[in-house]
Chains A and B, each alone.
Chain A
Amino acid sequence: MSVSATLIPGRRLQPQYLLACLACVFAVWMIISPEVQAQAPVDVYDFETTEQEQRFRQLSNDFRCPMCQNANLSSSPGGVAADLRREIYRMIMEGMSDEEIEAFMLQRYGDFILYRPRLTLQTVLLWFGPILFLLAGVWIARNITRSSGGRAETTDETERETAVTLSAEEKARLSRLLNDQPDADNPTNRS
């Protein structure tokens, strides 16, 4: 939409449109690319099946590195992350299930290790907070549009009086002003 705006001659490109477009593109990019992250360190592990390899990838993506706290195990170069990846590999090759591996991690590092926090009493706000804020936003937006839309047909005494006391002359002057013409009644006000 911003592109077409630039193509129309004489119409200036509004910076807020451009900004909004950029924000949209960024938001979509964040949503559709699941791995917006630093280049993962390279481990050389041999798997017997592709299923094992997939599980390894999945698990090391789902666990959080306890040392470099804003990275998962697969993207963290930290020493303990490499150790934990090695442990995940060992447990997969020993035939442990995903649940058993998660229990192993939880027992040692606690809920912190999970990048997708479990739904507990402590994390309720974390999970449902965004929905709460969205609902609050919708409510506020509705209130604002309703109150501004309702002003035209307001029954408020003072506002109706103002509307009525505009004489025909004043209305004409108002429409002149709105059309951006010089005010004939007030020649000094030309700037």
Chain B
Amino acid sequence: MKNLKLFLPVIVFAVLAVFMWRGLYLDSRTLPSMLIDRELPNFELRTLEPGDQLATVEDLPDEPFILNIWGSYCLPCLQENPIFMAAREQNLVPIIGVNYKDTDDAAREWLDINGNPFTLNIVDDTGRYGIDLGVYGAPETFIVDANGFIRYKHIGTIDYRAWQDEIMPVVRQLQSENQVAGS
């Protein structure tokens, strides 16, 4: 019993060390999404191009696609753009843009300068649709399956590594699921 008491500080230290060590690698900046495996919330929003048409979830692809929350003010979005452009050129997966809390003019100018990787861009200038998606800042990226269910969410910049190691494996998985279901 006395020996056990002697080791009490060591035990306390060990317990604290384990918790704090784990704490070092916890990422508190990225919130777990509540929407995984839930249906993409409905919307009725303007499209950025070709013009002021209204779009709803019915206008989204009926194959797996990527939904990217972006804005012309958002620096990380600029970083993501070449990756998305390459994906569009190679016809890997449709990418839908949600122009989040931006102005149409600035957004169109940004696309003119940097290239437009989006097959469709919907305008969420008030951020109301963003709230439905649990978005708290661009860029955020969702992967939606062929049935319109959100299957994955990435918060923050998608760099080349995230694209290769996180996004594309999920996309391929969903695409093969879709092919099995279609055949």
Q: Which residues of A contact B (CB under 8 A)?
A: 66-67, 69, 78-80, 83-84, 87, 106-110, 112
Contacts of A109 in B (CB 8 A): 31, 34, 134, 136
A69 to B134, Cβ gap below 8 A? no
**Distance in Å from the Cβ of A124 to the closest Cβ of chain B?**
15
Known: A79-B101, A110-B34. A84 touches B131 (CB 8 A): yes
Main secondary structure of the interface of B (DSSP, over half): loop
CA distance A66 to B137 in the complex (A): 9
**Distance in Å from the Cβ of A184 to the closest Cβ of chain B?**
42
B137 to A67, Cβ gap below 8 A? yes
Known: A79-B137, A80-B137. A110 touches B31 (CB 8 A): yes
Known: A69-B28, A69-B29. A80 touches B135 (CB 8 A): yes
23 examples of A-B residue contacts, CB within 8 angstroms: A66-B134, A66-B136, A67-B136, A67-B137, A78-B136, A79-B127, A80-B127, A80-B130, A80-B135, A80-B137, A83-B126, A83-B130, A83-B131, A84-B131, A87-B128, A107-B34, A108-B131, A108-B133, A108-B134, A109-B134, A109-B136, A110-B31, A110-B34
Interface size on B, residues (CB 8 A): 19
Main secondary structure of the interface of A (DSSP, over half): helix
Contacts of A78 in B (CB 8 A): 136-137
Residue of B nearest to A81 (CB): B136
CA distance A79 to B137 in the complex (A): 8
CA distance A110 to B33 in the complex (A): 7
Contacts of B169 in A (CB 8 A): none
A-contact 0/1 string along B116-133, CB 8 Å cutoff: 000000000011101111
Interface centre among B31, B34, B128, B136 (most CB of A within 10 A): B136
CA distance A43 to B28 in the complex (A): 28
Contacts of A84 in B (CB 8 A): 131
Is B115 interfacial (CB 8 A cutoff)? Answer: no
Contacts of A69 in B (CB 8 A): 28-29
B31 to A112, Cβ gap below 8 A? yes
**Distance in Å from the Cβ of A128 to the closest Cβ of chain B?**
16
Known: A87-B131, A108-B131. A80 touches B136 (CB 8 A): yes
Contacts of A66 in B (CB 8 A): 31, 134, 136
Contacts of B34 in A (CB 8 A): 106-110
Task: Name the interface residues of B1-43: CB closer than 8 Å to any CB of A.
Answer: 28-29, 31-35
A110 to B131, Cβ gap below 8 A? no
Contacts of B137 in A (CB 8 A): 67, 78-80
Contacts of B132 in A (CB 8 A): 108
- A-B pairs, top 7 by smallest CB distance, nearest first, are A66-B136, A83-B127, A108-B134, A80-B136, A110-B34, A67-B136, A112-B31
CA distance A83 to B127 in the complex (A): 7
A83 to B128, Cβ gap below 8 A? yes
CA distance A87 to B134 in the complex (A): 13
Task: Name the interface residues of B126-173: CB closer than 8 Å to any CB of A.
Answer: 126-128, 130-137
Contacts of B133 in A (CB 8 A): 108
**Distance in Å from the Cβ of B127 to the closest Cβ of chain A?**
4
Interface centre among B126, B128, B132, B134 (most CB of A within 10 A): B134
Contacts of A79 in B (CB 8 A): 101, 127, 137
Contacts of A110 in B (CB 8 A): 31-34, 134
